């Protein structure tokens, strides 16, 4: 009997947007690449804006994290294609209020996109559909270039889906798999699998989320998971991971709620 062929995955999204993918070659990135000591990575749990702009904690983090006076290149591929112009307009205004010029990468394609990413001084990767974000970066060939640049020191802020992308694999996202992927391998520039939008301890959904992540680790025991509540921020800089605002939860050999400050378990994997 001939082997069964993998079925093409078809998903209709956003009022008729049809996304499809059949069997594809896996990307060349390893499943758990090492994190460079030069990497500067900021991850946030999501919901970092109001109608007035970025939350004060995010504004402060941007001013200390991004290079002063340098523009920010936004990667908005987690948004649906017909929503990216509006997302860009809103975020450009928010960045301007905080003293940064910003532009979205979605205006470029092919070699032009590679040149624009190669020249970027800072990157912001927004939220939305994690699997769509990963697939578009895989298909465009930009995933490897982005990883290379971040490991060489390009400041990277990822929120929600963008935070998921920073880890070694997409493992504990809350998103539906709205598109097919050949691999869950992500950037590998932050030493933990991410779970954004993690409920705080007093939230009725906290126990269910914690139990779900613990079950994930029973199957993927080598993975350390970092849960971040909305508006929480963790930053990798100078070989150290710190929780700088909000609440975080670490799931590893020891599971614990995190105080503000260094996270020793996440700093040790960072290369010297």
Residues recognised as catalytic: 160, 175, 197
Strand partners, 270: 35
Q: SS3 sequence, 100-154?
A: CCEEEHHHCCHHHHHHHHHCCCCEEECCCCHHHHHHHHHHHCHHHHHHHHHHCCC
Reported residue count of the chain is 272
Token pair for 214: 């613990």
- Put residue 197 in one of left, alpha, beta given phi > 0 → left and psi -120 to 50 → alpha: left
Question: For residue 73, what is the enclosing H or E element?
Answer: strand 72-75
Contact 190, 167 (CB under 8 A): yes
Return the DSSP state at 35: B
Residue 40 CA to residue 26 CA, distance in Å, equals: 27
Residue 249 CA to residue 255 CA, distance in Å, equals: 7
Residue 176 CA to residue 198 CA, distance in Å, equals: 16
CA distances from 230 to 30, 49, 121 (A): 30, 10, 26
């Amino acid at each position: 009997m001939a082997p069964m062929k993998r079925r093409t995955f078809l998903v209709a999204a956003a009022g008729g947007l049809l996304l499809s993918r059949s069997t594809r070659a896996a990307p060349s990135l390893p499943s758990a690449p090492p994190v460079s000591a030069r990497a500067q990575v900021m991850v946030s749990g999501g919901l970092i804006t109001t109608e007035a702009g970025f939350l004060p904690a995010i504004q402060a983090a941007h001013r200390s994290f991004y290079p002063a006076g340098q523009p920010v290149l936004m990667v908005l591929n987690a948004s649906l294609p017909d929503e990216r112009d509006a997302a860009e307009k809103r975020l450009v205004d928010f960045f301007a209020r905080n003293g940064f010029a910003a532009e979205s990468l979605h205006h470029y394609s092919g070699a032009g996109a590679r040149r624009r990413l190669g020249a970027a001084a800072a990157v912001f990767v927004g939220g939305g559909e994690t699997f769509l974000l990963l697939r578009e970066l895989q298909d465009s060939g930009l995933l490897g270039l982005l990883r290379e640049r971040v490991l060489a020191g390009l400041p990277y802020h990822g929120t929600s889906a963008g935070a998921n992308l920073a880890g070694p694999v997409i493992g504990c996202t809350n998103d539906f798999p709205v598109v097919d992927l050949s691999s869950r391998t992500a950037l590998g520039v932050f030493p933990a699998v991410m779970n954004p939008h993690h409920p705080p301890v007093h939230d009725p959904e906290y126990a269910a989320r914690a139990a779900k992540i613990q079950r994930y680790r029973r199957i993927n025991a080598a993975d350390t998971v970092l849960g971040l509540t909305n508006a929480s921020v963790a930053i990798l800089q100078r070989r150290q991971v710190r929780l700088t605002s909000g609440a975080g939860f670490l799931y590893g050999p020891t599971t614990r709620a995190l105080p503000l400050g260094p996270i020793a378990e996440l700093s040790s994997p960072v290369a010297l």
